[in-house]
């Protein structure tokens, strides 16, 4: 069993797509372990996207992810990270295939509806950033990797 971290971004929440996005994950067998509505502050957003610092779209990305409430979720199933990335689709909604969240629900960069962790390392980093002190999430994850 594996876990992943997803965000329905402010554009997705504003467009009323929370249910549609979460339904896709539930129907693919994901179990919800954590669900929270939160407006992400700019400092946390900058840490979350620190790998993109210096890109020309960085400040606009921070604007987009902090402009309203997001929905944060930790989800579990086998191969969670790979399956979630497949559900989400390509980064640019213009490239995303039909059947994926970004391919079906659209958006325009940087507002592409949803985030999903791209690796186990990213998941652990992200869940530690967004839910610090909730060590049980990390501990169970680590125990299962041994
Ligand atoms: P991902 O969300 O598919 O993992 P990343 O490359 O990690 O894609 O980029 C993080 C986020 O930054 C994207 O989801 C999108 O919101 C934004 N982004 C990525 N590339 C561009 C771009 O070329 N222009 C504007 N925003 C971008
Ligand atoms: Mg990414």
The reply to whether CATH 2.160.20.10 applies to domain 2-132 is no
Cα 47 off chain centre by: 14
Q: What does the domain layout of the chain look like in residue ranges?
A: 2-132
Q: Which of 116, 120, 129, 113 is nearest to 43 (CA)?
A: 129
Report how many helices (DSSP H) and strands (DSSP E) the chain contains, helices first.
Answer: 8, 4
Question: Exactly one of 9, 48, 102, 115 is catalytic; which is it?
Answer: 115
User: What pLDDT does 57 receive?
Assistant: 98
pLDDT per residue rounded down to tens, the chain (146 residues): 999 999 999 999 999 999 999 999 999 999 999 999 999 999 999 999 999 999 999 999 999 999 999 999 999 999 999 999 999 999 999 999 999 999 999 899 999 999 999 999 999 999 999 999 876 665 665 666 55
Does a cis peptide bond (omega within 30 degrees of 0) precede residue 110?
Answer: yes
With the most atoms of ligand 1 within 8 angstroms of its CB, the residue from 61, 64, 96, 118 to mutate is 61
User: What pLDDT does 138 receive?
Assistant: 59
User: What pLDDT does 133 receive?
Assistant: 85
Name 133's Cβ contacts closer than 8 Å, sequence gap at least 6.
none
């Amino acid at each position: 069993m594996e876990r992943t971290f997803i965000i329905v971004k402010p554009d997705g929440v504003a467009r009323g797509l929370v249910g549609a996005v979460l339904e896709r994950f539930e129907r693919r067998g994901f179990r919800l372990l954590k669900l929270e509505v939160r407006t992400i502050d700019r400092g946390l957003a900058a840490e979350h996207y620190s790998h993109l610092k210096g890109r020309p779209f960085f400040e606009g990305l921070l604007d987009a992810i902090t402009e309203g409430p997001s929905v944060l979720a930790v989800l579990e199933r086998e191969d969670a990270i790979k399956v979630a990335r497949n559900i989400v689709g390509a980064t640019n909604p213009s490239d995303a295939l039909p059947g994926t969240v970004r391919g079906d629900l659209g958006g325009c960069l940087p507002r592409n509806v949803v985030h999903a962790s791209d690796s186990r390392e990213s998941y652990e980093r992200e869940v530690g950033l967004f839910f610090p002190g909730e060590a049980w999430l990390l501990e169970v994850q680590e125990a299962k990797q041994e």
